[in-house]
């Protein structure tokens, strides 16, 4: 696979990531007035998780890390929904964090890379404030998310938590080997990931 083809696949992923960002916005708008809607939070969790995993495989490390931090916030909102104080400040922080993902995607689409000073002075403080408000998801949170409650399908959740780690370790190995092999894995990942999205939409 040529460098141009790899760039094309990366741009296709970034287009898909923008769709996930739109889902995040939709899940958060009106959070203060309507409260925590589990269906919307589940959709946000899936979107943040998809951005995190896809960005990691495509080499967009900053995007992956920010999506991971946002995913953790959604985990806390989901499991501790009765103890979290939902107010306009929290809604603004979450929406601003989503805007950070959108900004990173825009830079990556233009092949500019992430501005380090923006990351240090703007994005990281936003996520730090979110962490201060919500904290980290606990081990009990993770176990609860994996429980088949609320109509969740446990198999995809197990795939997300267990297999993703294996894929990340595989990518680390591949980056030290033949770059053509890594490109082939990236191409196959995108095809499989795209097929999974289509399958979910058809359910």
For position 57, what pLDDT does the model report?
A: 87
> Contact at 8 Å (CB) between 73 and 94?
yes
- 171 vs 197: CA distance, rounded Å: 22
Q: At what angle do helices 38-58 and 179-202 cross, to 10 degrees?
A: 160
What are the chain's domains? Answer: 10-162 (1.20.120.160)
Which pLDDT belongs to residue 35? 86
Strand, helix or coil for residue 146: coil
How far from 23 is each of 39, 42, 127, 129, 180, CA to CA, in Å?
12, 11, 19, 22, 34
Query: In whole angstroms, how far apart are CA 136 and each of 7, 29, 54, 84, 93?
Result: 35, 23, 22, 13, 16
Q: Are 28 and 77 in contact (CB under 8 A)?
A: no
Query: 157-184, pLDDT tens digit by residue?
Result: 444 444 554 455 455 545 555 555 555 5
Question: Taking the mean position of all CA atoms in its chain, how far away is CA 118?
Answer: 20
Give the model's pLDDT for residue 181: 57
Q: pTM for this one? A: 0.71
Among 191, 21, 186, residue whose Cα is nearest residue 104: 21
Quote the pLDDT of residue 138: 73
CA 109/CA 125 separation, integer angstroms: 24
Distance CA 116, CA 106 (A): 15
Low-confidence ranges of the chain (pLDDT < 50): 146-155, 157-162, 165-166, 169, 173, 195, 197-203
pLDDT for position 182: 58
pLDDT for 128-163, tens place per residue? 999 999 988 876 555 555 444 444 443 454 444 445
Tokens 């995809």 label which residue? 156
The predicted pLDDT at position 46 comes to 93
Which pLDDT value is given to residue 119?
Answer: 96
Angle, CA 30 vertex, CA 26 and CA 35 arms, to 5°? 110
Question: How would DSSP label each residue in 67-114?
Answer: HHHHHHHHHHHHHTTTTS---HHHHHHHHHHHHHHHHHHHHHHTT---
Q: What is the pLDDT of residue 172?
A: 53
């Amino acid at each position: 696979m040529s460098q141009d083809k790899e760039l094309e696949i990366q741009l296709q992923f970034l287009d898909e990531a923008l769709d996930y960002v739109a889902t995040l916005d939709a899940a958060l708008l009106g959070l203060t007035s309507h409260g925590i809607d589990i269906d919307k939070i589940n959709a946000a969790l899936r979107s943040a998780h998809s951005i995190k995993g896809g960005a990691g495989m495509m080499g967009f490390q900053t995007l992956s890390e920010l999506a991971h931090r946002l995913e953790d916030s959604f985990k806390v909102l989901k499991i501790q929904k009765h103890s979290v104080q939902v107010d306009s400040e929290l809604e603004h922080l979450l929406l601003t964090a989503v805007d950070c993902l959108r900004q990173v995607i825009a830079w990556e689409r233009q092949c500019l890379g992430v501005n380090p000073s923006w990351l240090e002075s703007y994005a990281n403080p936003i996520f730090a404030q979110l962490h201060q408000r919500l904290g980290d998801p606990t081990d009990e949170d993770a176990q609860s998310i994996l429980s088949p409650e609320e109509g969740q399908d446990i198999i995809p959740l197990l795939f997300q938590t267990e297999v993703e780690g294996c894929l990340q370790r595989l990518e680390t190995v591949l980056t030290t080997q033949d770059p053509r092999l890594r490109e082939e894995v990236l191409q196959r990942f995108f095809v499989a990931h795209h097929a999974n999205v289509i399958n979910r939409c058809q359910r």
